[in-house]
Structure 1
């Protein structure tokens, strides 16, 4: 059966703009594209320990069997949520099936009619989708511009205002001044929500994230942590007060009306967090985190050496982005780099604003300095 004409036209428009998305196959190229920052997703010890954990606790069960409010609330949920609360110094934690589910569930249920949401203009699509489902009014502020936010807060003067941003932005790799942001929200009595998806496992001793590294965890109304990036697993959690958790259990539809994560998914999360904690009894960072930051510093030094730094967005994270305007151009350069053995992905509009298309380099603990040097030398041949 053919698509309705309006849907077919939308596809044709995407094709004409060189923005049509396609599913690709897993490649054997050198990985500069995945979110597996620490290499945990392919860590054999984590894989084997997750299996041993399940069999040791007689958890011989493939699926959750239902939602957590029906039959799927198996004992591992309480165990993992307790671990998350202790590790992230939060009163409570509530696990969702993904970061997308967590953000949609939170923002569609917590802000009420008559409330106001202020969000960074570059905020993640999952948060935007949650906001669209909310009955609250929402306004964007300029990216990482706390002066713009402060002016809006003073102008709006509303009883209940939620402010949301990311500690590391997925499409830019940059970060707001979280300490100053927290102070601005305090002064204006606004509720601050931080998405830590690309910071957990990367920043702070033992990968605790930027919020805790700065000692701000008690000033944040809610934090989102995900397991599908540096932790190499699947799922997410919202950290906050016991009352917030109780509220979400009762009103977050993406939590209530979905089958829960399987025991195996949670066992993997448990073992991955143990990898960060147990292997570092002196509370120092995991060796993979240290290697990742060494690679980030080396990558940035190589940018300067190859005179590429002026076309990259300033970032101290594992995400380094090279601005190359135009969907067709950036996709062509990405294809050429891939043909030389390096998996570097183009980020095209409308995912990013038109004219801000880019190559996104995701760095990992397992990337070698030789690979970094070679891929940047190759990039220079196309953009300089």
Structure 2
């Protein structure tokens, strides 16, 4: 075997360090037949009959989009979907991106300019933080859901000031105080940007998201609407004004220089969005099971689920047992038939390792009881 180059040695050392701390990531396959407490498919739309039918009917379309939207990758179907998104989410316009990550990168790298300021919640997703790093704007984080700390950070801000939050946070499952944030931004002339990755499809009478459910559309400069969660598919959109859409189309490099979503994905998304208004019972079941899971697991000695979590539920253990112990607990749950995953550093801060349980409309109370019994034995 040839000797490793200095660069390969450096990479191997960094991997070995992750191995030592129990934080090295590996790809794993989901075993068939496990009860799903891990996927983001909250409403089961990835397997919905109407979506499957739309995908089958779209198989006559080309397998790929053949280019970027600005070259050969545009289509009437994509523009129709964007029109529907704007109407559904009650905004002027929407622009499709290939993922939530790309949408956040595309917005934050393009819209805030040199001399502007971005104030972002410290619990924001990695895609938001990476997009901010690609911007020439100045940026500071503020303590999670802490408007007093946001006020302190604002004192140093210049130019156009953007406040970036998530409607529903992906690791702790708690919500941003959107009404208070909207008032805060409106009174000070700030631009509120809300990532609705985990709230899109779930909140609102028809699943329009938390911003629309709270009637804050006018107070929100932009929403990032991700389709890889409750919509059961892939892709995302930035929703806002018509001027914002046109600006992103002209200046957002992650939009301009990437191959467009394939026709099959666009067809599936259109079908999923048309199904969303009919899923009222599924959303009610989701909320009921979410509350039931919190009550049930908090009644088990040694387990703690924060009461403020919604749909996404972190499960903490006494004395912060560390990444290896949490991974062993997850493996034991999987052996018992439950798809449960451990979340460790660097995704979450050291000392806050947890299981991350996700409730779906197709889960049952019996499944929650079974999982609670397994975790209570660990």
- Which band: TM-score by shorter chain? over 0.9
Match of 1:351 in 2: 347
Partner of 2:274: 274
Q: Render the CA deviation track for 1:167-198: whole Å, top value 9, x for unaligned.
A: 00001000121000111111221111000000
Q: 1:331 to 1:242 in 2, by over 3 A?
A: same
Q: Does 1:10 align with 2:19?
A: no
Q: Tell me the equivalent position of 2:189.
A: 189
Question: 1:374: which partner in 2?
Answer: 370
* Residue 123 (structure 2) pairs with residue 119 (structure 1): no
Where does the alignment leave 5 or more consecutive residues of structure 1 unmatched?
Answer: none
Aligned to 1:317: 310
Matched-pair contact (CA < 8 Å) for 2:50–2:275: no
Q: Matched residues in 2 for 1:69 and 1:22: separation?
A: 37
Q: Secondary structure at the match of 2:55?
A: helix
1:308 CA displacement: 6.0
Q: CA deviation at 1:147?
A: 1.5
How far does residue 275 in structure 1 lie from its aligned partner after superposition? Answer: 0.5
- Asked if 1:298 corresponds to 2:269, the answer is no
State how many pairs are aligned: 370
Residue of 358, 362, 378 corresponding to 1:362: 358
In 2: Cα distance, 1:75 partner to 1:159 partner = 38
**Which deviates more, 200-209 or 70-79?**
200-209
Ranges of 4+ aligned residues in structure 1 off by more than 6 Å = none
- Cα deviation 1:60-87 (Å, max 9, x = unaligned): 2211010001110011111000000000
Q: Determine the structure 2 residue equivalent to 1:81.
A: 82
SS state of the match for residue 270, structure 1? helix
Structure 1 residues 6 and 43, CA, compared in 2 at 3 Å: closer, same or farther?
Answer: same
Give the secondary-structure state (helix, strand or coil) at the position aligned to 1:78: helix
User: Kindly tell me: are residues 197 and 113 of structure 1, through their superposed partners in 2, closer, same or farther at Cα, counting changes over 3 Å?
Assistant: same
| Structure 1 Cα separation of the partners of residues 308 and 65 of structure 2 | 40
- Corresponding residue SS for 1:163: strand
Alpha-carbon RMSD across the aligned residues, in angstroms, is: 1.5
**Partner residue, 1:258:** 258
Would you say 1:337 and 2:306 are equivalent positions? no
| Equivalent residue, structure 2, for 1:328 | 324
1:148 aligned onto 2:149: yes
Alpha-carbon deviation of 1:304? 4.0
